[in-house]
A and B are shown apart, each in its own frame.
Chain A
Amino acid sequence: MSMSILKRREHSPAPASGNPDAKDAFFRMEKINKFYQMGEEQAHILKDVDLSLDRGEYLSVLGPSGSGKSTLMNIIGCLDVANSGRYVLDGQVIEDLGEAELARIRSREIGFIFQNSQLLPRLTAQKNVELPLIYAGVPPRERRRRAREMLARVGLSDRMGHTPNQLSGGQQQRVAIARALVGNPTLLLADEPTGALDQKTGRQVMGLFRELNDEGRTIIMITHDMNIAKYARRVVHIIDGVLTEGGGTADA
């Protein structure tokens, strides 16, 4: 079974020549499969996942824990690669890449937003936002300018010199959003972005997401919470590693 999948992948034509859609697609996953070796047994985490996205879309992936949504997020975020299938992001085929190449794609294409904002406690808000630019080798002056700009965008102009423990949970998450945006990524990838926030703050963050999407940002949000998922314009469900289209949300 898995042999035939591998074989098919090896012989699949390049996107430019064979499949005209693949080249044009901004985001396209075809028959993505992921297995984990759990001792003797092989767990089939993602089963033939197909997913396509256009630029400017706002998608949420809704699924309970253990559904495979974290694994899917890792593959979308180029933290992990699929065992089989094809993944094209912004015209680049993500497969069989080494760690360094994956890191480069993460740096250029993806802005991560995690559940616990994951700020470095010793650094100021501004320095935290600068972090992705440091690894991209952006010169200090431009780095500072862009970080300030992004913090202003998320409404934290007056908190740039604060360290995370001097900020509220909502402010921390907004710093994290600024950090995700600062590299001007093509895709914002959020993993339970409101998971650690109270309802009111969570709503504010969702409002910010909607604004960003209105500005043309492409967003994929992974969540187990129906109430959060509905903020996206399009929802897909993942259960037991199988992805199904859930249609647009009520207020889309």
Chain B
Amino acid sequence: MLDSIRSTFIMLGECVKMSLANILGNRVRSFLTVLGILIGVAAVIALITTVNGFSGSLSNSFSAMGAGTLTVTVTGSDLKSGLSTDDLAEIAAMGIVDGVTPSVALNARVSRGGSYETGISVSGKNGYYFTRNPDLLSRGRAINFTDEDNMTQVCIISPDMVEQFFYGVDPIGENLYIGSIPFTVVGLMTEEGSGNISDMMSGSPDILIPYTTALKLNSANVVTSFTVYLAAGVDSETASDALEARLEAMFSYEEDCFEIMNMSSIEDTMQNMLNMVSALLAGIASIALIVGGIGIMNMMLTTVTERTTEIGLKKALGAIPWQIQAQFLIESFLLSIIGGALGILLGLTLSLVLSKVMGTSFVISTFAIVLGAGFSAAVGIIFGWAPARKASRLNPIDALRSA
């Protein structure tokens, strides 16, 4: 028993050697045969790797835009049009919440001296906002909790505003009128702004003021838009559900009073779509693998016909049918594995180039490589089966006579 296993392995080892000799002895032909597999695998690998890189970049920009935050827009009901400062404090006190930033947006006429500008986007923020966005300020100080409580008339302005109203003057400490109310400039924003999704949606404000002051300017007493920063390690789905429950209670369970936007779930949705597109494209690319498999089958059938005498001879010398079958199967397997390996190399090279061109990240996907290798191995066995079977069934007499 052990002996027969041993001799089987010896035989298979020889098959591998002989197959390699055949494949390498016919380099041009072998290369043309595996070209289909090569292209198919390369296409699948390049697609998967590129899409992976793209989705990596996507998720990076999403987390820059505010992963770990929930943005709430309140439409309100007849009884309650928005959230009070107390409501916000209640939400901020939830275990899942690290802090809350209200956004009170208004459009105002801004003036200084003789120059003015209308339609300037002004946004009311709280002190917490600045602790979460420390890179926002280029100079000066942030709005702090004292400003919030005292509804101070201080503001932080964008570089555009500096250019507009403070040409040649250091703006800090100077006054600026929002509507008819004077504000003291205490800080300057960087060119980039916060990059925060809720700020982007409200059109990147040019002037930030304490939100309590903004509410007074608006002659409102409720907040209709705010961002909830989740505590570390909190799942955004769970948090979203908890927040929803809390808000529903605040709005006495009336329907459609608010909307929670979960950046993570939007990202998930986009990633899912991307994955589907990638699977679809990979599916289309794998048609090339099938075509490649047919190429291998065709070549193997030709080989079997060409080597009829050899097969007959080997049978006469004592080869058992399954040994002949194994030899041809090994040959087609090796052919397609070689094609697959070359395809993986080409695919990775292609996707490296693509990632450089598109500026996305290049991540080698183990999954794609395993898929490519597995696919080509399967193709070799599936499409090599019929020719190998044909070879093993050749009658040695006919095979020898054809010489």
Contact = CB atoms under 8 A, between A and B. Distances in A.
Interface in A164-217: 179, 183
B7 A138 contact: yes
A132 B310 CA distance: 13
Nearest to B396: A79
27 contacts: A79-B316, A80-B397, A100-B320, A100-B321, A103-B315, A103-B319, A103-B321, A104-B320, A107-B318, A114-B313, A114-B400, A116-B403, A118-B400, A118-B403, A120-B313, A123-B18, A131-B317, A134-B10, A135-B11, A135-B323, A136-B7, A137-B6, A137-B7, A138-B7, A140-B10, A179-B317, A183-B318
Say whether chain B's binding surface is mostly helix, strand, loop, or mixed: helix
A140 B9 CA distance: 11
B302 interface: no
B107 interface: no
A122 interface: yes
Interface residues of B, number: 29
A107 B319 CA distance: 8
A99 interface: yes
Contact of A106 (B7, B318, B397): B318
Given A100-B320, A104-B320, 12 more contacts: A103-B318, A103-B321, A107-B317, A123-B21, A134-B11, A137-B4, A137-B6, A137-B7, A137-B10, A139-B6, A139-B10, A183-B318
Contacts of A120: 310, 313
B55 interface: no
Interface in B1-28: 3-4, 6-8, 10-11, 14, 18, 21-22, 25
Interface in A33-55: none
A183 B316 CA distance: 13
A182 B256 CA distance: 91
A92 interface: no
Contacts of A80: 397
B25 A122 contact: yes
Contacts of A77: 316
A164 B316 CA distance: 19
Contact of B397 (A74, A103, A138, A179): A74
B313 A132 contact: no
A87 interface: no
Interface of B: 3-4, 6-8, 10-11, 14, 18, 21-22, 25, 309-310, 313-323, 396-397, 400, 403
Contacts of B310: 120
A137 B10 CA distance: 6
Interface string A118-159: 101011000000011011111110000000000000000000
A99 B318 contact: no
A27 interface: no
B125 to A, nearest CB: 80
A112 interface: yes
Given A118-B309, A118-B403, A122-B22, A136 B6 contact: no
Nearest to B8: A137
Contacts of A114: 313, 316, 400
B329 to A, nearest CB: 16
A122 B19 CA distance: 11
A138 B10 contact: yes
Given A79-B396, A100-B321, A120-B310, A106 B10 contact: no
A135 B21 contact: no
A79 B22 CA distance: 27
Contact of B318 (A74, A123, A132): A132
Query: Interface centre among A77, A104, A131, by most B CB within 10 Å?
Result: A131
